[in-house]
Structure 1
Amino acid sequence: MNQPEFAHALLNADAPVPAGIIDPQGRPAGRRFDVYRNNVIASLCQAMADAYPAVQRIVGDAFFKAMASVYVRANPPKTPIIQQYGDDFAIWLEGFAPAARLPYLPDVARLEWLRRKTYHAADATPAAPDVLARIPEGDLPDARLHFIPAMAVIRSPFPVLAIWQKTIETPELALPAGGQTVLIARPQTRVNMHALARHHDVFLQHLAQERLGSALDQMAQAEGFDLGAALAAILQARLLANVTIEPVANQAKQINGGKT
């Protein structure tokens, strides 16, 4: 018996019991292996339910259990860390025909996985709320904004945040028309989610890669972009870990905690 054979048999009920699986008396232990196989599949299905509670509520317990069982049998764990299992579930859902009547379901799954990923991301102490106000006006174009690791953005043609909120928190919530871009962040201990205004996600992308002045240049043609509102949203969500001043010569100084 080799490891791939054992793993294949473990997740496929129709596969024969691997040779060498015996009981204490040396007899073939097919029944015992079946119990072990069922326990493994049940544990992985429960891990899926833990990771995707909104998806489970949307489709119902029975449908989710059957769907998770199909996913589990086709997608063995890639790592021994159970919290990382199911990372590609949203992609898999896109091709799962029985759920095709719910076209928003893959994006709900993406949102839930990013919540989990953000929760387990590295910790970082957010910068003080007035960190940008302490920067001399002449240095602002050279400011580099460094974000906390525990954050992510998802863009969806569906009101994915409202769907999650209606499913998990507020059943009476009316769903807005159109799609939503959602910021997911954990500045301290709690994962927060906010619907982003138009262009704010693009601005965040630029800020993650370049200085504030360059990011603003990139947004110059973005119709209706409000810099003040975008920066206020960043500060309110406590996304900044620190800010450095990086002139072209790249001699950086830190602006955080009242120190320069």
Structure 2
Amino acid sequence: MLKKLQTEFYQDVLNPDQAHNYLSSGNFSGSDLIKIYHNNYFSNLTGALSSTYSCVKRLVGDDFFLMLATQFIRANASKTANLVDYGEGFCGFIEQHEQCQGLPYLADVAKFERFYERCYFSINDKFLMQSQYPIIKIWQLDENSEQLDFNAAGIYLKISKKGGKVVVERLTKQEYDHEQNN
């Protein structure tokens, strides 16, 4: 019974216009009350995604990012109360999203940002990634940046924590392979 109520409540938060009437008397309908939860839920998760994927947001713009975030949130429920944990599958979502196909590097940028944040909040994690795109240069882009060469060779990265700071190191293919085996 409780599980059913929780499931219905969650669905109502995602779709507040179709909410059940939880209170039969009072000044607010069930839909009005659910909209409060809906707005907070989407606002908090959108904020978490914006924080983690700030470069992705900068690259695609606020409106496009909000559209991506809203679609991702509708398809991917938060599984913990910790907002830092939210957004694990966002890079895969971007990679599969039809409107992101013209930005093939975007999923790798998202993956890098996720690894960077996970490393920041961990004690001794390290993450390895490879990309065919100049991820570090893309991540550091601003309005004064020069045009990037996307035909450059692939990049191998190690993202780790040293002395309380996140460190991003460029690796050779051999160093990358060695790190993967350790």
Deviation at 1:11, TM superposition (A): 1.6
Alignment partner of 1:191 out of 160, 166, 172: 166
Tell me the distance in 2 between the aligned counterparts of 1:42 and 1:17: 19
1:8 and 2:4 equivalent? no
Query: Equivalent residue for 1:235?
Result: none
Structure 2-normalised TM-score?
0.87
Tell whether the 8 Å contact from 1:11 to 1:76 is kept in structure 2 after alignment.
no
Q: Say if 1:163 and 1:175, in contact at 8 Å, map to a contact too.
A: no
Give the share of equivalent positions with the same residue, in percent: 28
Q: Which has the higher helix share?
A: 2
* Kept after mapping to 2: 8 A contact 1:152/1:183: yes
Change (3 A) 1:17 1:197: same
RMSD: 2.2
Cα shift at 1:173: 7.3
What is the CA distance between 1:172 and its match in structure 2?
3.8
Letter aligned with residue 9 of structure 1: D
Matches of 1:118 and 1:166, distance apart in 2: 21
Match of 1:161 in 2: 136
Instruction: Return 5+ residue gaps in structure 2 as ranges.
Output: none
Is the contact between residue 12 and residue 73 of structure 1 (CA under 8 Å) also seen in structure 2?
no
CA shift for structure 1 position 19? 4.0
Equivalent position SS for 2:168: strand
Give the superposition deviation at 1:39.
Answer: 2.1
Q: Deviations over 1:53-86 (max 9, x none)?
A: 1100010111101111111111110111110000
Deviation for aligned residue 1:18: 2.6
Residue deviations 1:85-139, cap 9 Å, x none? 00110111111111111011111100000001111112xxxxxxxxxxxxxxxxx
1:165 CA drift (Å) = 2.1
Instruction: Indicate how the Cα distance of structure 1 residues 181 and 2 shifts in structure 2: closer, same or farther if over 3 A, else same.
Output: same
Structure 1 residue ranges (4+ consecutive) displaced by more than 3 angstroms after TM superposition: 172-176
Q: How does 1:1-260 map to 2 (within 5 A)?
A: 2-13=5-16, 16-20=18-22, 22=23, 25=26, 28-122=29-123, 149-167=124-142, 171-172=145-146, 174-175=148-149, 177-206=152-181, 208=182
Deviation at 1:29, TM superposition (A): 3.1
Alpha-carbon shift at residue 188 of structure 1 (Å):
1.6
* Residue type at the aligned position of 2:133: F
1:178 shift after superposition: 2.4
Q: Deviations along 1:126-153, whole A, 9 cap, x unmatched?
A: xxxxxxxxxxxxxxxxxxxxxxx23211
Counterparts of 2:142 and 2:5 in 1: how far apart (Å)? 44
Contact 2:125 2:160 in 1 (8 A): yes
Q: Considering only CA atoms, is the larger Rg found in Structure 1 or Structure 2?
A: 1
- SS class of match (1:80): coil
